[in-house]
Structure 1
């Protein structure tokens, strides 16, 4: 009898085969439900509604370090993004370069969210701007009342306060109540309020330079499996990993086809070729070994920024079975 597994994640091109049945989990019947990352994080970190789910990498590390994460992570990374494009500023606050964020008030939906983890690390490493140099404000980007999905115990020199009740970060940036914003999504005031712009106007050039220098393609999300299920079925992590790997393989085959386009972009194949020229053929790898340098940077940032109570070892992030896969 197969194990029934519920799945919550975004229906990306690289996960779509799990939704249409072309990629399956051996020994299990998969029941996928598509939803936004924010919804998946809220429903699973707080209520553990699904057996397999997309999770915030940063929030996962926070809970793992405390020994209280209800999910076992596997090295499948459904979301990766360069994040220089995610810094929005008021152009009337004297901010023309990253160093100008010192002493400013910067909003973020959730302080521990992975986009903020990466950009705080990049600001510190590349520009000498530390988290304690900024006054932080958290709240909903477009809807009031958003709160952190995991509990935090931040260093005493970090100022983090919620924005006023009933307010949103997009509204605060538009009105000038905050000077800048770190956000995975573009705020609705961007493109509408002339004083709101990106810190890095040519963000692609900045992100490509960052990759050439570091060889890092930032990880945002991972896949987690309900811990109680992994304890009952030790084979689940490897089989779920293989299913996601197969779904990604099918996606890349589709994206490379030139007879007809699977993506509604005229030069999608050229974009794929340009990306591979810069980042290599397998530019979106799963697995621990291929991503060890990226994960090392993440556990370093999480500890340095006071998100985790201790520095995690990369080997702690995933079960041994899925980091030591059989080879033919």
Structure 2
């Protein structure tokens, strides 16, 4: 009889074949729970509600370094994104290149958010920014009231303050109380075309493509974790789930290719065929890769960023982040 496991995740095209039963996890019945990350992560981090869960990679590393994580990951990365496009500035703030962020007030949603950790690391590695000189102002981008999900212990020389609880960082950007924002979602002022707000890095698409060509990286944001107690009781679950999620990803990529080559636009994207062709030209046919070896450099960078930014209490190794049974599994593409 199949054992039931709860699996909480957002409705990504690459995960849904497992969630809807198109791709079974051999020997297990998946009970899908579809939640947006903002709703899901607190329930996983603070209440450990789910057997299997999508999780912020930064939050997972932080808890692992503290020895407080009830979960262990498999090398499946549900969310990945280039984040050069996630930095927005006021035109009158005197920020003409990334180095100019030093000494400026920069809004962020959370200090330990994976996007923010990666963006700071990228600014440091790619542009030589002394990230400790940024004056961080923490709060939600377009609404009020966001707080850090996890308790942090940062040194005194990190200049970070919460913004007023009734304000968003977009409000402060418009008023000139902060100079820039790093955020996974664009500030409303940018979306609305405000004349005094722009992306910091011009030519974003070409910048991000050049970054990939030079480094081979596709930044990791979220991973999939399983309760350690369940892994101990069911040692076959992790490799079987990894295999199923690889197959689900394969279906998503094949479907997207089929749709892009179809006789009519099933998706409301006018230039989908050209976009997909360019993505495959730059990144290859399997541009959403799983497994450790293909991702090792990115994983090592994230471990380094987490320690350098005073999140992880020590430098984590890649191997300790993932179940032993998945350490050598190749991507099934």
Q: TM class by shorter-chain length?
A: over 0.9
Determine the structure 2 residue equivalent to 1:210: 211
Determine the structure 2 residue equivalent to 1:268: 272
Q: Deviations over 1:151-180 (max 9, x none)?
A: 222233211111112111221222221111
Contact 1:8–1:53 (8 Å) recurs in 2: yes
- Aligned 1:28-107 pairs, distance under 5 A: 28-107=28-107
Contact 2:18–2:245 (8 Å) recurs in 1: yes
- CA distance in 1 between counterparts of 2:155 and 2:122 reads 19
Contact 1:131–1:158 (8 Å) recurs in 2: no
Structure 1: gaps spanning 5 or more residues:
none
Contact 2:289–2:331 (8 Å) recurs in 1: no
- Aligned 1:50-199 pairs, distance under 5 A: 50-192=50-192, 193-199=194-200
Contact 2:5–2:31 (8 Å) recurs in 1: yes
Determine the structure 2 residue equivalent to 1:219: 220
- Output the aligned Cα RMSD: 1.7
1:326 Cα offset (Å): 8.1
Q: Which moved more, 1:278-287 or 1:80-89?
A: 278-287
Q: Which moved more, 1:95-104 or 1:139-148?
A: 139-148
299, 303, 307: which one pairs with 2:307? 303
Q: Deviations over 1:34-68 (max 9, x none)?
A: 22111111221112122111111111101111111
Contact 1:107–1:181 (8 Å) recurs in 2: yes
1:121 Cα offset (Å): 0.8
- CA distance in 2 between counterparts of 1:191 and 1:327 reads 37
- CA distance in 2 between counterparts of 1:53 and 1:281 reads 27
Q: Does residue 1:288 correspond to 2:289, yes or no? A: no
Contact 2:65–2:313 (8 Å) recurs in 1: yes
Superposition TM-score, scaled by structure 2 size: 0.94
**In the superposition, relative to structure 1, how do residues 29 and 100 fare at CA in structure 2: closer, same or farther (>3 Å)?**
same
- CA distance in 1 between counterparts of 2:36 and 2:90 reads 28
Determine the structure 2 residue equivalent to 1:17: 17
Q: Which aligned runs of 4 or more in structure 1 are off by greater than 6 angstroms?
A: none
Q: How many residues align?
A: 328
Determine the structure 1 residue equivalent to 2:236: 235
**In the superposition, relative to structure 1, how do residues 93 and 325 fare at CA in structure 2: closer, same or farther (>3 Å)?**
closer
- CA distance in 2 between counterparts of 1:248 and 1:8 reads 17
Q: Does residue 1:259 correspond to 2:262, yes or no? A: yes
* SS of equivalent residue, structure 1 residue 189: helix
**In the superposition, relative to structure 1, how do residues 178 and 327 fare at CA in structure 2: closer, same or farther (>3 Å)?**
closer
Q: Deviations over 1:255-288 (max 9, x none)?
A: 1112355533233233222112111222211011
